[in-house]
Amino acid sequence: MISLLIVVVILTAIAYSGGDESPSPSTAERAAPLQGTANVTITSVGDVVMGTPEFGLPPAGGSTLFSSVAPLLKGDVVFGNLEEALATGPGSKCGGPSGGGCYAFASPPSYARNLKAAGFTVMGIANNHALDWGTSGQRSTVTALDSQGILHAGRPGEIAVQKLPGGGSVAVTSVAPYSWSQNALNIPSTVALVRKATTMAPIVMVNMHVGAEGSGATHVPRGGETFLGENRGNSRALARAMVDAGADLVVGQGPHVLRGMEFLKGRLIAYSLGNFLGYKVFSVKGASGQSGVLAVRLALDGAFIAARFSPTTLSGDGVPSPGGSGISIIQSLSQEDFGATAARISSSGDITPPR
């Protein structure tokens, strides 16, 4: 495993209006594979909310939120989906206290240090709560992450590039079905962004925050998904388009429950890693309380080598700890939803392609 070097961000401030404006990998030179190192490990988790003033903030400034699972958060790239703003003050989308079906999530900007201490190197900021405190809250989030040297991806045209000691890098994009993010509903535009990422780094990860929500959303349907009347995208079509565009790993969140995994063209797609941390904001009943940490080892050209899913479970306050039934959940969902392309998951959480 490669030790982390100081990370940098390369932001491509390009807002695609639609259409595939970038050449395909066959006509654009893909970034050269890493040199002088054996492999790269990308570790990912699901949705993260570190508490809100309205529903309750954790003791000790949230410094112990990740304590039980910190040993699992190891890798050359450690990714989480930040489903909240890091902001304070007025400006909530609810116009006041949450209620009546309106929920606005935000933790103090100082909580970015909890992410850094836990080991996160990149956070996704494309999701339905990223703009809960408006554009000023989004700016506050970016500033807070920058202050800790944590990369971020998710705004239109944004690509996070993490430099590695081997002389190469990993590019990360994050998408969601909203105009303030790289829009997952505009697949041609997102394909163009992923193709651009392949020219910037030899390994590309795509994070997608799409799909319906709740205990009834554990299966990945064929076709589009909606939630509360909102178009939440087409998970299968999006994930497969990302692989076709050159993504080496696709990891999803959004449904707040675990979903199955499959392989396409030798690349792993994990459709949802569920709720990783939700201090007093997420339901922890049944499937909603089961999550995990996905660690994927890739070769220098992005080819799959190995992966492991380590299950975690949420306490009554939404704090994660190792354990739970996540492995068996993903085993059954993968087979039921994907059949011949389903990932094979052992009882210990080891993931291998289908035979």
For residue range 200-238, list pLDDT tens digits in order: 999 999 999 999 999 999 999 999 999 999 999 999 999
Predicted pLDDT at 32: 73
Dist CA 272 CA 257 (whole Å)? 7
User: Which of 5-14, 82-91, 113-122 has maximum average pLDDT?
Assistant: 113-122
Q: Integer distance in angstroms from the first to the last C-alpha of the chain?
A: 27
Predicted pLDDT at 10: 38
Strands 182-183 and 203-209, how do they pair?
A: unpaired
Whether pLDDT at 294 is above 80: yes
For residue range 250-262, list pLDDT tens digits in order: 999 999 999 999 9
Predicted pLDDT at 102: 81
Is residue 193 helix, strand or coil?
helix
State how far the alpha carbon of 220 is from the alpha carbons of 146, 200, 285, 291, 292, in Å: 34, 31, 20, 17, 18
Q: What percent of the chain has pLDDT over 70?
A: 89
Closest CA to 58 of 332, 311, 324, 279: 279
The amino acid occupying position 293 is: V
The rounded Cα 290 to chain-centroid distance in angstroms is 16
CA atoms within 13 A on the CB side of 302: 26
Q: Which residues contact 184 (CB under 8 A, 6 or more apart)?
A: 126, 175, 176, 177, 190, 208, 209, 210, 233, 238
Range 31-36 average pLDDT: 66
Predicted pLDDT at 45: 98
Predicted pLDDT at 37: 57
Predicted pLDDT at 162: 97
Predicted pLDDT at 216: 95
Helices (H), 122-202: 134-147, 187-200
Predicted pLDDT at 69: 98
For residue range 182-199, list pLDDT tens digits in order: 999 999 999 999 999 999
Range 21-36 average pLDDT: 58
Read off the tokens for 76: 């050359």
Domain ranges in the chain are: 40-152+216-236+254-352
Q: What confidence tier does 27 reach under pLDDT thresholds 50, 70, 90?
A: very low
Number of continuous H segments (helices) and E segments (strands) in the chain: 5, 21
Helix (H) or strand (E) holding 242: helix 235-245
DSSP tag of 202: S
Q: What confidence tier does 244 reach under pLDDT thresholds 50, 70, 90?
A: very high
DSSP tag of 158: -
Q: What confidence tier does 19 reach under pLDDT thresholds 50, 70, 90?
A: very low
Read off the tokens for 302: 């992005």
Is residue 145 helix, strand or coil?
helix
By the 10 Å C-beta count (0-12 exposed, 13-18 middle, 19+ buried), 219 is classed as middle
Range 149-173 average pLDDT: 93
| pLDDT, averaged across the chain | 90
Read off the tokens for 27: 């006509």
For residue range 41-85, list pLDDT tens digits in order: 999 999 999 999 888 999 999 999 999 999 999 999 999 999 999
Predicted pLDDT at 86: 97
Higher per-residue confidence, 88 vs 147: 147
